[in-house]
Amino acid sequence: MDTIINKVSESGLVTIDPADFYTPGKRAVIDLKPLLVEEFLLREKDFRDYIKTTDWSQYQNSFVTLHCSNDAIIPVWAYMLLTVALEPFAAAIFYGTSDEMEQSLFSQKISQFDPEIYRDKRIVIKGCGDVHVPVSVYMELTRLLRPLVKSIMYGEPCSTVPVYKKINL
């Protein structure tokens, strides 16, 4: 009887899972659109009343992003007032959409990543999982790893797409 050999485990491939750069925690989006008069104008008095009457503790330890989902021009001070109200409670406060907040959270984690430990390795950047990973994360990992590694592939060790291979001159 022939011995079954696991060629994937013997391949020397190192898998990096981009989901490992996910920051766990509650997310919240505050959209200023409902606070606008006719979805166009931010009235300072009404806005300050909203700030005073909102229970900001609901955002305790949350990652909160602030944005306006329509094309109204929101004065900078409005975002500053929201930041003052949220700061004692929120884990972090961002400006932009929920996708932009996720990109920022991933970027913060990747900035702590040491690609040097992968020098001269053959890398597979995992392509699927339970966590939605922004495309920018794959791009940044590729940018950081490319000068150091022998190769970069995308997918799973059993089914990869070649992305980069170092050519020795």
Query: Which stretches within 19-134 are classed as H helix?
Result: 44-53, 76-86, 98-110
Q: Do 72 and 40 belong together in one domain? A: yes
Are 17 and 68 contained in the same domain? no
Instruction: For 159, list phi and psi in degrees, rounded to 5.
Output: -155, 95
Q: Is residue 160 part of a domain?
A: yes
Given 40, 55, 90, which residue is the final one in a domain?
90
Give domain status of residue 106, yes or no.
Answer: no
Give the count of domains, the chain: 2
User: pTM score, two decimals?
Assistant: 0.85
Does 6 reside within a domain? no
Residue 27 to residue 97: CA distance in whole angstroms: 11
Both tokens of 144, joined, read 């950081």
Say whether both 130 and 152 belong to one domain.
yes
Residues of the domain holding 72? 27-90
Whether the pLDDT of residue 39 is over 80: the answer is yes
Evaluate whether 68 touches 82 at the Cβ level (below 8 Å): no
pLDDT in tens, 70-119: 999 999 999 999 999 999 999 999 999 999 999 999 999 999 999 999 99
Mean pLDDT, the chain, integer: 93
Same domain, 146 and 127: yes
Range in 24-28, 56-60, 125-129 with the lowest mean pLDDT: 125-129
